[in-house]
Amino acid sequence: MFPSMPAAGCPPAGDRGAVTVEAALALCALTVFLTMAVGAVAAAGAAVRCTDAARELVRLAARGEADRGRTVAADLAPAGSAVQLDQTGDLLTGVVSVRLVPLLPITVSGRSVGAVEPGSAP
């Protein structure tokens, strides 16, 4: 046997702790991946809530109940959402948007368009 070769089953002296470092890096990568996955699911949920709120806003405003529509939209939307209702001719456009994380410039929004019903004024 060569004197520089380690005995069978013993790791070389320079590789001690390498598995620990690799495991720590793998756990860090797994944590980052899971955080991103949970964030993506939360963003999708917020987008659905914003779209639902915009739909209700336009639906009620088209019937002539714009104030009630704003109240319902604010209740349906995520906390801290901005609710906007615009009218162009006989079309109503509702937009509900929210910043998911205040420190990051990521905004999720939902938009809905509807026609004003005859005989009602938003």
Token couple for 14: 């320079």
Give the pLDDT band of residue 105 (cuts 50, 70, 90).
confident
Q: How many whole angstroms from its chain centre is CA 25?
A: 27
Q: What is the pLDDT of residues 8-25, one digit of tens each?
A: 666 566 666 667 888 889
Q: Which of 49, 67, 51, 59 is nearest to 114 (CA)?
A: 59
Count CB neighbours of 71 within 10 A: 15
Q: What is the pLDDT of residues 65-83, one digit of tens each?
A: 999 999 999 999 999 999 9
Count CB neighbours of 83 within 10 A: 21
